[in-house]
Structure 1
């Protein structure tokens, strides 16, 4: 996003296949209330950034030099289609970015680069295995909260009263 003296700080939302759609809808509501653009960022942890543009977009390469899958260099088509369908009538300006590396670090760096108002992420499903994994890996939200100077908004994976989250179409 080109910065100018009248620019509004964008809202970043971390997106991934299988994520409940209400996470993006909440982020879109924040963007609408702030009159800000929404940046839907997907981070591929199997790649690392090799170059960065002023708008936060990155070029990347695979961590494994023997793995060359060109599909990993573009935003996931199903995720992009799901976002387009979800945000078509949102009334906000939005775009998608494909990032690389550690998810929390990449989202935090993007927020710094584009001077974001906030970062919105979804929580993990509550389960015994999820709790153990969360304990050992620390959640993305916790990592962001410890290293950010801007708000980090965590949207529950399953809002109260919802039988099961509505995932992106697979």
Structure 2
């Protein structure tokens, strides 16, 4: 089962069916084992799985009383977020196959930690799964200014968070882990 961000009229019904879900944050080209871990826990908990991609090129302008979120782009390149969500959906469909669980894909907008927290509140989620960030200078700079999504989630809500390593392990004797 997949869907994109639901319309206001459909969101309440879909959210009711997704109560107590496991939420996993996915980015394009993320290693597949992040989703594998989320599937494993959704099965263990007997819960639906919600695969989310957060479009950071858009921001929330206002939210209707019924929960529908209106957003606007930060810049005029509207296709970037759409293309990323389509890539996430395609990879999820290929990877999920017949896992025997109810799942859906949604695109959220804005700050990743706040968007995932808000969805977790709406769904009364049991668990949030995120991957670690990639190593590299660009990612280090981004994290310096925005902070770790996992850490920000851990400090802003009460649910358990599973942080799945994405890349190769850094040797214990390597002092600087962000050399790449």
TM-score of the superposition, structure 1-length normalised? 0.77
User: Aligned Cα RMSD in Å?
Assistant: 2.8
Q: Could you tell me how far 1:72 is from its partner in structure 2?
A: 3.8
Note the C-alpha offset of 1:118.
Answer: 1.1
Matches within 5 A, 1:25-104: 25-49=36-60, 50-51=62-63, 58-64=69-75, 67=76, 69=78, 72=81, 76-104=85-113
Of the candidates 123, 146, 158, which is equivalent to residue 132 of structure 2?
A: 123
Separation in structure 2 between the aligned mates of residue 111 and residue 63 of structure 1, nearest angstrom: 25
1:19 has 2:30 as partner? yes
1:8, CA displacement in angstroms?
Answer: 5.3
The verdict on how the C-alpha distance between 1:57 and 1:155 changes in structure 2, with shifts beyond 3 A counting, is farther
1:111–1:159 Cα change, 3 Å? farther
Deviation at 1:48, TM superposition (A): 1.8
User: Which structure: greater helix fraction?
Assistant: 2
1:94-132: per-residue Cα shift (whole Å, max 9, x none)? 000110000111001110111100110000134566445
Q: C-alpha distance in 1, partners of 2:141/2:80?
A: 32
Cα contact 2:24–2:49 (8 A) shared by 1? yes
* Long gaps (5+) in structure 2: 1-13, 170-180
Q: How many residues align?
A: 155
What stretches of structure 1 of length at least 5 have no aligned partner? Answer: 161-170
